[in-house]
Structure 1
Amino acid sequence: MAEDIQPAPVALDMRAVSKTWRGVAALESVSLEVAPGEMVALIGPSGSGKSTLLRIAAGLIEADRGSGAVALFGRRVQEDGRLSRGVRRVRARVGFIFQQFNLVGRVSLYANVLFGALGQLPGWRGALGLFPAEVRKRAMEALERVGIAEHAGKRASALSGGQQQRGAIARALVQRAEAIFADEPIASLDPVSARRVMQLLARLNREDAITVVVTLHQVEYAMKYCRRAIALKAGRIAYDGPIGALTRERLIEIYGEEYRDVVDEEEVRP
């Protein structure tokens, strides 16, 4: 008799997760699933819980005691507000992209990208900077792929914000991340750099089937690059579905009347 074929685990599985900061609920019993290979936008007003959700999903912070479980690719990240013992191994499967780039400014871009392999090497090799030739080759290939190989020898602090963010994505490629969680990756970038970063994330999602979950303030970028949106409002899911079903009125419900005012101003702008 043929063996049963087990379905592939979802990339992110979050069940009844809550988080409170100083008595204020940032998330209230949030549950969601993200399938492998999806590119999902997390949207919502400032303070709605987007960054908190992403950090809990990656095991960077703990949920409240009594919360449900979080799993990545079928492996437990945390449950009941406690990180699992194997969280580091699970976390290694996710490249986390921060708003402020999170590169080491005093060392070269190339060295920063090499750091993506630290979880794959014995600790002493990483501490001494003894990266195998295969990893060094992979780092240069990643820099070429994100379009900044010519800046490999520059100190990270000397690069533009867009270049640093692409360097962070290259580091995730060296890490061999199966998913990229990007927390407001374009919030501090100019429009040209923002488009390049979003195009790069979309290309990696399309060509490499890397799961991408990205928090965005700019709804227009979510509309252009993502097929699915999860909208948070006051710590709860206000919408979860196709990006195309997010009508103007639905967005006003999520963001409030301020959103109507902004849209009206843009429509009359010459």
Structure 2
Amino acid sequence: MASVDPALSVDRVTKTYGTAVALSDASLSVQPGEMVALIGASGSGKSTLLRLASGLVLADSGSGAIRLFGEKVQENGKLSARVRRARAKVGFIFQQFNLVTRASLYANAMLGSLGQIAPWRGITGSFPDDVRKRAMEALERVGVAGHAGKRAANLSGGQQQRGAIARALVQRAEAIFADEPIASLDPVSARRVMRLLAELNEQDGLTVVVTLHQVDYALKYCRRAVALKAGKIIYDGPISGLTRERLIEIYGDEYRDVMDEEPVRA
């Protein structure tokens, strides 16, 4: 049987900013079809890890390779010549949505096709019919088709974030990397976005790696957790392993009562 490359492979990667160590000798492997939560306090290195994985940030010289579905993203602090091919397989969801606010939600969804069509089509907005069809289907899938013609700036945060996910579907991404996708959302919108990511993982087989501040959402929607503290991975295992004692180790004494709090409700 042919081997299946990991959706994400990180090999001994370090990232520093001046004298501050954001990530230290981190290694990680995520298999296709997994839904993984990256957790940890602010400044722990989880967002840095996700951005390194996408080639949005360069690792330090001497770091090992980062690969997406077998395609090298970077190594030794340098981007691979095949980085665009690797990135095409991953849709990146940002905390602040990263939509073109003056454009319609429909137009934003179609932007997911930019790596697949002639550049002039994207510049002029002359998207092929199949892209237009895919965009409407994606907006329907994420539940915001009724807002397709509205400017992104006029939509709620939750609607914009679902539009960003639709853009990743138009991209035909095999994985979604979501960096704090619910940090700016109200609780109802946050649950909708997390349910959507879980559905795409379970029903479509998309690999999902999501950074989360809210432990309850990781416990409810993810099956595996990777916890970082001061730039180091200190836990990598099943969600069931996030005991009260483990969470105190990850977050410190201020989270001593986290397991006693009421869980997130769907």
What's the TM-score once normalised by structure 2's chain length? 0.97
Match of 1:111 among 103, 107, 114: 107
SS at match of 1:88: helix
Is structure 2 residue 5 aligned with structure 1 residue 9? yes
Shift of residue 6, structure 1, vs aligned partner: 2.0
Aligned pair count?
263
Shift of residue 262, structure 1, vs aligned partner: 5.3
For residues 181-192 of structure 1, what are the structure 2 equivalents within 5 Å? Answer: 181-192=177-188
Is structure 2 residue 103 aligned with structure 1 residue 132? no
Shift of residue 264, structure 1, vs aligned partner: 6.0
Aligned-partner residue type, residue 97 of structure 1: I
Partners of 2:23 and 2:45 within 8 A in 1? yes
Shift of residue 265, structure 1, vs aligned partner: 7.4
Aligned-partner residue type, residue 150 of structure 2: K
Q: Which has the larger radius of gyration?
A: 1
Q: 1:192 to 1:266 in 2, by over 3 A?
A: closer
| Structure 2 Cα separation of the partners of residues 193 and 75 of structure 1 | 34
Aligned-partner residue type, residue 48 of structure 1: S
Residue equivalent to 2:176 = 180
Residue equivalent to 1:165 = 161
Query: What whole-Å deviation, never above 9, does each CA across 1:20-42 have from its counterpart, x for those lacking one?
Result: 01210000000010000000000
After the TM superposition, which parts of structure 1 deviate over 3 Å for at least 4 consecutive aligned residues? Answer: 261-267
| Runs of 5+ unmatched residues, structure 1 | none
What's the TM-score once normalised by structure 1's chain length? 0.95
Aligned-partner residue type, residue 177 of structure 1: A
Aligned-partner residue type, residue 126 of structure 1: G
Percent of paired sites with the same residue: 73
For residues 224-243 of structure 1, what are the structure 2 equivalents within 5 Å? Answer: 224-243=220-239
For residues 11-90 of structure 1, what are the structure 2 equivalents within 5 Å? Answer: 11-90=7-86
Match of 1:248 among 227, 241, 244: 244
Query: What whole-Å deviation, never above 9, does each CA across 1:100-128 have from its counterpart, x for those lacking one?
Result: 00001011000000000010001111111
| Runs of 5+ unmatched residues, structure 2 | none
Residue equivalent to 1:258 = 254
Shift of residue 129, structure 1, vs aligned partner: 1.0
| Structure 2 Cα separation of the partners of residues 82 and 57 of structure 1 | 13
| Structure 1 Cα separation of the partners of residues 85 and 192 of structure 2 | 30
| Structure 1 Cα separation of the partners of residues 28 and 146 of structure 2 | 41
Partners of 2:178 and 2:209 within 8 A in 1? yes
